[in-house]
A and B are shown apart, each in its own frame.
Chain A
Amino acid sequence: DAKTTQPTSMDCAEGRAANLPCNHSTISGNEYVYWYRQIHSQGPQYIIHGLKNNETNEMASLIITEDRKSSTLILPHATLRDTAVYYCIVRVALYGETSGSRLTFGEGTQLTVNP
């Protein structure tokens, strides 16, 4: 499995963009990069995922470098409710593209949004 490396913690001012980095230097060509977050022992919440191209949805943007060895999750206007642990995950396909797969969570980044 490709492993990921994230900073342990980050701070961000409310209303500013939060940029969370992730290194995944051993990622394989068919592995996706996923971001989830967990707010204080609640169930993890899916944010966004991508393979090669940058992606954007209503929650965040995902920037993946051209060599795919790192990525950045961007929360464009962080709010206090965005305070959470953010997990960067490289997804391993167990049986091919038509099957499900497990998620391997590391320790993530504790993002604290300050007033």
Chain B
Amino acid sequence: EAQVTQNPRYLITVTGKKLTVTCSQNMNHEYMSWYRQDPGLGLRQIYYSMNVEVTDKGDVPEGYKVSRKEKRNFPLILESPSPNQTSLYFCASSFGGSEQPQHFGDGTRLSIL
């Protein structure tokens, strides 16, 4: 089944404790991205990747890192999480090409205390 898989789905942690949210897709997509969703602000893009070893900042990259060492994986890293990063996170992927629809994972709900 074609899908985007995020792990973990839920995480409660404390300020400053490094964490990684994994994202994997099995559709051989070139393009992957991370979004966060907050009430009243909609979905905002954090980082995106056009292909392996090619990443760039989205609209709200501060406090986050990403890497794209393999085509299928695009982990989101919070080196020193803070409470303002408490949010619902989504990973998405698509084939290259501006008209290609994006496929989203089921989301990761992070709570930073």
Chain B binding surface SS class: strand
Cβ–Cβ contact B102 & A103, under 8 A: yes
- A100 touching B100 in the complex, CB below 8 Å, given contacts A41-B107, A42-B106, A43-B107: yes
- Choose from A41, A100, A104, A105 the contact partner of B97 (Cβ within 8 Å): A100
A5-46, CB under 8 A of B: which get 1 and which 0?
000000000000000000000000000101000000111111
How many angstroms between the C-alpha atoms of A91 and B101 in the bound complex? 10
How many angstroms between the C-alpha atoms of A98 and B100 in the bound complex? 10
Q: How far is the CB of B99 from chain A (nearest CB, A)?
A: 5
Cβ–Cβ contact B104 & A102, under 8 A: no
A97 interface residue per 8 A CB criterion: yes
Cβ–Cβ contact B98 & A32, under 8 A: yes
B107 surroundings in chain A (CB, below 8 A): 41-43
Q: How large is the interface on A (under 10, 10 to 19, 20 to 34, 35 or more residues)?
A: 20 to 34
With contacts defined as CB atoms under 8 Å apart, how many contacts are there between chain A and chain B in the complex? 73
B50 interface residue per 8 A CB criterion: yes
A101 interface residue per 8 A CB criterion: yes
A45 surroundings in chain B (CB, below 8 A): 104
How many angstroms between the C-alpha atoms of A107 and B109 in the bound complex? 19
Cβ–Cβ contact A100 & B48, under 8 A: yes
B44-64, CB under 8 A of A: which get 1 and which 0?
110010100000001100000
Q: How far is the CB of A15 from chain B (nearest CB, A)?
A: 28
Give residues of chain A (49-63) contacting chain B, Cβ–Cβ below 8 Å.
49, 51
